[in-house]
């Protein structure tokens, strides 16, 4: 009987294998190797574009977008990519019978050369230690690298504008204070401060990137990037709530209830949250933050930032200034640190400054730049983003493919549009006192 069953199964197998379509028409490894790099690279750029705030504000060179992008794939690292902007016509023109010939005005052309640099980043996995059923490493890698690239592009541009190109001529302080050191609890972001920032930008000649109609008159529209804490202070102020009450229409969606505030006094708001999914890296350049990695005593003169177990090669202080003498706050104690942080894992401190009292602090305590927040008001042509190579896949294999590294390389740089003498041409910065509204 057993031999009879084996014979039936053998005949059935021969029959099925002879039927058309019984054998799967599978793609070969060579086919996949040719296809995967193309969609993988594009998927990373798509993921970065989808998440990056600055990408949503970008446009082609000459478009008058806040961030002008230009791609020149003939360039290599160290080469320059040139952008051009046009100035206003200022001449008086002629009237009556005065000849126009010979009195024409030459258009003022501003030329900016951006030197592009090579950047790389990668991640790696051990295939032996990976559970393939639960973990598709190439797919996970492009998503994570796309997310990282989005944050890189945002951080790189904001750092350049706020901390490199903004000068004393383009920085205001809330409460009409004269410096960051003088900011105090009353110097919050409220509507009147936002109006002061806007009119300062207008009087300086910051070019609007949109206009709206008020009656028959065009009205300039600017944008403002701000931290979620400054956004909270703004919409929580009594003056803001009164403005909303006066402006609201009966039956319309009230922004106090919906929580969606898009524009105030001709300024479109772009709140930027300091995402902290538990990896020890909170903060942005708009509101520098970190977490204390280990307990410190009231007498300690160093502090380490990050999670209890730090990730190699991560700079957990990256949003804090690296030059000059600056003040940080942990709980209610103020302490100064000078210059850079060395290896950026430990800061050398002068304790109990600004009339505060030295105290012990526990791991996980929030570290801020003494509750300083920055609001960036911008118009058209704020920044230039040059690409000589879009993100392209790089890989490395070891141990016969069991250890696989996947990464990206790109050739790029960004630079602000500057006036010849005093910094930002199309941006203005307001520094505020930005206290954390909770224990988060």
Kindly report the number of other CB atoms within 10 A of residue 321's CB atom: 18
- pLDDT tens string, the chain, 440 residues long: the values are 545 445 544 554 444 444 444 566 665 655 555 556 667 888 889 889 989 989 989 999 888 899 999 999 999 999 999 998 777 788 888 888 889 888 888 877 778 899 999 999 998 888 666 555 445 777 888 889 999 999 999 999 999 999 999 999 999 999 999 999 999 999 999 999 999 999 999 998 898 888 877 677 788 889 999 999 999 999 888 888 777 776 666 555 655 555 556 888 889 999 988 766 677 788 999 999 999 999 999 999 888 888 888 888 888 888 998 877 889 999 999 999 875 554 556 778 899 999 999 999 999 999 999 999 999 999 999 999 999 999 999 988 888 777 888 899 999 999 999 887 778 999 999 999 999 887 55
Global pTM value: 0.84
Length of the chain in terms of residues written: 440
Query: Which of 195, 178, 198, 177 minimizes the C-alpha distance to 186?
Result: 177
Kindly report the number of other CB atoms within 10 A of residue 396's CB atom: 11
Kindly report the number of other CB atoms within 10 A of residue 34's CB atom: 11
CATH 3.30.2400.20 assigned to domain 38-86+107-166+382-419? The reply is yes
Structure tokens at 151: 């944050």
Structure tokens at 116: 């592009």
Q: How far apart are CA 228 and CA 235, in angstroms?
A: 11
Query: Which of 40, 14, 211, 234 minimizes the C-alpha distance to 139?
Result: 40
Q: Which ranges in the chain are annotated with CATH 3.30.2400.20?
A: 38-86+107-166+382-419
């Amino acid at each position: 009987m057993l031999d009879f069953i084996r014979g039936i199964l053998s005949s059935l197998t021969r029959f099925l294998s002879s039927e058309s379509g019984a054998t799967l028409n599978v793609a070969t490894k060579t086919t996949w190797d040719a296809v995967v790099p193309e969609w993988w690279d594009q998927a990373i750029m798509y993921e970065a574009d989808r998440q990056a705030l600055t990408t949503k504000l970008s446009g082609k060179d000459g478009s008058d977008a806040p961030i002008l992008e230009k791609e020149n794939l003939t360039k290599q690292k160290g080469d320059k990519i040139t952008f051009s902007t046009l100035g206003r016509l200022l001449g008086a023109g002629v009237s009556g019978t005065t000849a126009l010939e010979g009195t024409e005005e030459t258009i003022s052309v501003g030329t900016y050369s951006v030197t592009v640099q090579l950047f790389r980043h990668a991640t790696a996995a051990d295939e032996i230690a990976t559970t393939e059923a639960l973990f598709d490493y190439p797919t996970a890698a492009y998503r994570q690298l796309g997310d990282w690239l989005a944050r890189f592009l945002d951080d790189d541009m904001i750092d350049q504008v706020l901390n490199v190109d903004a000068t004393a001529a383009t920085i205001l302080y809330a409460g009409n204070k004269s410096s960051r050191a003088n900011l105090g609890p009353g110097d919050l972001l409220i509507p009147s401060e936002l109006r002061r920032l806007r009119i300062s930008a207008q009087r300086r000649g910051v070019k609007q990137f949109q206009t709206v109609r008020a009656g028959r008159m065009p009205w300039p529209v600017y944008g403002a990037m701000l931290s979620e804490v400054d956004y909270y202070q703004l919409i929580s102020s009594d003056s803001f709530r009164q403005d909303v009450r006066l402006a609201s229409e009966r039956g319309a969606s009230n922004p106090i209830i919906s929580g969606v505030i898009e524009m105030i006094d001709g300024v479109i708001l772009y709140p930027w949250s300091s995402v902290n999914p538990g990896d020890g890296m909170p903060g942005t350049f708009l509101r520098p933050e970190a977490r204390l990695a280990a307990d410190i005593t009231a007498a300690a003169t160093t502090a380490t930032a990050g999670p209890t177990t730090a990730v190699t090669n991560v700079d957990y202080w990256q949003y804090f200034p690296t030059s000059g003498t600056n003040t940080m706050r942990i709980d209610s104690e103020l302490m100064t640190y000078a210059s850079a942080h060395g290896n950026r894992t430990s800061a050398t401190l002068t304790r109990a400054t600004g009339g505060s009292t030295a105290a012990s602090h526990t791991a996980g305590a929030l570290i801020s730049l003494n509750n300083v927040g920055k609001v960036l008001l911008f118009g058209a042509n704020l920044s230039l983003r040059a690409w000589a190579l879009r993100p392209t896949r790089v890989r490395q294999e070891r141990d016969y493919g069991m250890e696989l590294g996947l990464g990206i390389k790109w050739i790029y740089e960004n630079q602000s549009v500057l006036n010849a003498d005093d910094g930002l041409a199309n941006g203005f910065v307001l520094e505020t006192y930005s206290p954390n509204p909770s224990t988060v």
